[in-house]
A = this chain, B = another copy of it.
Amino acid sequence: MTKGEITRQRIIAEAAPIFNQRGFEGASMQDIMQATGLEKGGLYRHFSSKEELAVEAFQYALDRSIRLKLPLVPPGISAVDHLCLLVEHFVASKSSLPGGCPLMNTAIDSDDGNPALRDLARKGIQNWQTRLIAIVDAGLKRGEIRKGTASRRIANTIIATLEGALMITRIEGRSAALQDAQESLIDMLRQLAPAPSQPSGLHKS
């Protein structure tokens, strides 16, 4: 990396928590000058606009968040166990940077606002959906998930419930809502396994 690229990366890393906490409108170039110790001219040497910096900062925050929220997956794990592991890891893992989930923040911040940020939020949700749908579809193929299960419904329900619970958790200042969401999602996911072909009662007692 050139010296210029290193400075650019540092600005992005230092602007990310500011945009994540205050939103696109709420974060001023003044705030970012203060955090980075750079003059306005110095910032604009690396970014043509506040929007360009915000887009890079959001992408940085999202990448960090994904790295933290994605668990190590043991090989040969079943689709249902994989989905449960994702949910549990999401609930257990710390926030990647101050201000809460960058995806939710940017989605809510940009839904009536900045189109470049809205596109990024849309892609972030799409990637998450695609990842979850692939796990459900693989499970359907391997017979680990009941035939007829709508993979998109499972993906959307997991994302919605976790993100909504994170919002409640942040506003309540306690993790009860995330714990509750986890329990309900694990309940739902455990039921995706096909019913055993013989009633298990026959083998017991």
User: Measuring CB to CB, which residues of chain A are less than 8 angstroms from any residue of chain B?
Assistant: 21-26, 98-100, 104-105, 107-113, 118, 121-122, 125, 150, 152-154, 156-157, 159-165, 167-168, 170-172, 176-177, 180-181, 183-184, 187-188
Contact = CB atoms under 8 A, between A and B. Distances in A.
Question: Which has the most chain B C-beta neighbours within 10 Å: A118, A159, A162?
Answer: A159
Copies per complex? 2
Contact of A23 (B23, B118, B154, B162): B23
A102 B157 CA distance: 21
Nearest to A107: B171
A157 to B, nearest CB: 4
B168 A180 contact: no
Nearest to A167: B107
26 contacts: A21-B112, A22-B112, A23-B25, A23-B26, A24-B26, A98-B112, A107-B167, A107-B171, A108-B167, A111-B170, A111-B171, A122-B171, A125-B171, A156-B165, A156-B176, A157-B161, A157-B165, A157-B181, A159-B164, A160-B161, A160-B177, A160-B181, A163-B164, A163-B167, A164-B165, A187-B188
